[in-house]
Structure 1
Amino acid sequence: MTPWFRTLFLFSSFGPLYVLFAASLYVQGVRLWWGGVIAFAMAVIVFLWLKSRFKRKSVIRKAITVESNLDEGVFSYLVSYFPPFMTDSFSDPAKAIPIVIFYATMVFLLFRSSTIYINPFFIASGYRLYRGRLEGSNRSIVLITNRQDIIDGDMLSLYEVHPSRLYFGE
């Protein structure tokens, strides 16, 4: 997965945040509130495009051992949505600059970790995210799947999205 693909993944994961920014700007009377709505629509389109690319590579059948469920991380991820609620004026640099710094730091940290794959759109679409290991490998992977429960040793059809790191499984 190229850095561009990871950037698109991160952009789409902030989709709900764009709606909150749009609402906050609208309430404050800022004319550019519609930019948040456009960003949300683009995030949905990017998410659907990313999801369509999951099955592009050849499929392998492997057993997986689940280490943890990453879905639960979405709630701590959603905490980052609070700043728009707490800011009463984005036109005031004294209030907007700390938010810009906060989100820049957050984007940097998310880009450097596997947390980038936690996407509210996946969870809303019924997908699950797991950290696990493939049969015969010591490397930890992230698995995105539409299966609701995975028991250790389940054989899955896996599509490699990012070599040796991110798989889509059915």
Structure 2
Amino acid sequence: MKVRNTILKITASAAAAGALTWLTVLGGASSVPDAAIPATQSAAGEGPGFAIEDGAYPNAEKILAEQKIKLKSGNGHIQLTECTGAPELMQIFSHENEKVCFQVTGDKGYLSLEIPAVFGVKGNNYSAQVDMSVGSEEKTFTIDKNSWTAVGETADDQGRDFMLLEIRTSK
């Protein structure tokens, strides 16, 4: 009989606590003082409470310091990788960095970057274009699939050093 009374008391306490919680959640009266209820704030004016992909290239500062390649942003389908000679890699040749390689994935790729003094690109099995600049002049070069394309200095009748600014790829 004593066990039964204890169970009833526990059940009644739990039910009361549950009812109090529901009243608080629904905005009803509560016997809990306002000071004991944690304050909440609206997140509406603070911006989103979740991560938003901004397109910034991961570890860009470290790559710039170590390899002198400024990777700005992209859609994630053109990634800097080790040059292994694999035919699926896009290879960029420059006087500053010698050879820089990129793995291309997906249907469309985009990468904003800066590599100075680029003079050649070896394409892969993607259609590709590169945007380059020299001074205030900008030029777009179409890259041949799976072969070498002269760009920048080697395609310029004045032999000027061009900066690689963008790579765009599509299947």
> Which bin holds the TM-score, normalised by the shorter protein?
under 0.3
- Structure 2 length normalisation: TM-score? 0.19
After TM superposition, the score normalised by the length of structure 1 is 0.19
Q: Which has the higher contact order (CA 8 A, sep 6+)?
A: 1
Higher strand share: 2
Query: Which has more radius of gyration?
Result: 2
